[in-house]
């Protein structure tokens, strides 16, 4: 989990819950996939998937 908190005058906290992290490739990574949720308090703001292709 990672958190971000804004300044004191309108403060809120965002939490990032990583559900799955996959790294493929041997010996050098070729693909990175991160499946995560973003939350503010008890409210789920979204479910996201980030997939990166790594070119060497």
pLDDT computed for residue 12 by the predictor = 76
The domain containing residue 28 runs over which residues? 2-53
Judged on CB neighbours under 10 Å (0-12, 13-18, 19+), 22 is exposed
**pTM as predicted:** 0.71
pLDDT digits (tens, 9 = 90+) for 20-40: 999 999 999 999 999 999 999
What pLDDT score was predicted for residue 4?
62
Least confident interval from 8-12, 14-18, 26-30, 40-44: 8-12
Distance, in Å, from the CA atom of 27 to the CA atom of 9, rounded to the nearest integer, reads 48
Number of domains within the chain: 1
């Amino acid at each position: 989990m990672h958190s971000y908190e804004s300044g004191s005058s309108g403060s809120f906290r965002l939490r990032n819950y990583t559900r799955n992290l996959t790294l493929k490739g041997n010996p050098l990574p070729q693909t990175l996939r991160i499946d995560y949720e973003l939350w503010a308090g008890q409210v789920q703001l979204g479910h996201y998937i980030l997939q990166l292709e790594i070119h060497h």
